[in-house]
Amino acid sequence: MFSNDDMASLSALLKSRAPLSPQEKTPHIGSDNEVNDPSAHIIRDDDIFLKRHVGVREASVLVPLVEREDEYFVLLTKRGNHLPDHPGQVCFPGGSREPIDQDDIATALRETEEEVGIGAEFINIIGALIPYHTVTGFRVSPIVGIIRPEFSLEIDKNEVDTVFEVPLTYFLDRANHVKKSHKYKGEVRHFFAMTYNDYYIWGATAAMLVNLAHTLKAHVGDN
């Protein structure tokens, strides 16, 4: 847990818009395989990952921290139940890289505006977490941005069912970093899962939120 002093330091850090990135000794998770087997650090090597996963797809998500007075909230979306891929799953705004995208940031900003209607003029990019490799073959770049609270939502109902916010402090609490398991293609797979009110946040999104917590704690000196 963060102390009051830690929270004050974190608030000052985010308000300063200082560059945010994982520190060398920051604990982090690089892939679904690494959640399943913590010794699988080799998956962090992009070249090896690409060789083993022919046709790997590049994607970006925005990790949106909404600034509301003296508290920050993480904005998340719940995918429509009618979608063929990951129906009803909680995730960050984002998606696959398109030819028109100049870089990972451009992908995250474009997808955010398309999915929930928040334009780049409301978003201040402060950094990125480490790329996250999914078992389905995506290399996801999580881009962290501070969102001004004056935005209004314009939800694309073809992709997004619901948009909701969770206090950042919820994800900073290690007690909420719960590991669960299920069978996937006949194999027991482990994953992070978090329940907030009626929302079940799991898989890659939950793992990236754990990475966010580790990164923020490292920046304010909490070990």
Is residue 55 within 8 Å of 137, Cβ to Cβ?
Answer: yes
Task: State pLDDT tens for residues 185-222.
Answer: 777 788 899 999 999 999 999 999 999 999 999 988 75
pLDDT of residue 44: 45
- Superfamily (CATH H level) for 4-219: Nucleoside Triphosphate Pyrophosphohydrolase (3.90.79.10)
**Segment among 54-68, 102-116, 150-164, 178-192 with least mean pLDDT:** 178-192
27-36, 52-61, 115-124, 168-177: which range is least confident on average? 52-61
Average pLDDT, the chain: 86
Give me the mean pLDDT over the 126-141 stretch: 91
Mean pLDDT of 122-135: 93
What are the residue boundaries of the structural domains of the chain, listed by start?
4-219
| pLDDT confidence of residue 51 | 47
What's the rounded Cα separation, in Å, for the pair 138 and 58?
6
The whole-number pLDDT of residue 115 equals 95
Written as one string, the DSSP assignment of 12-79 is HHHHHT--B---TT-----BHHHHH-TT-GGGG-HHHHHHHSTT-EEEEEEEEEEEETTEEEEEEEEE
The pTM is what?
A: 0.90
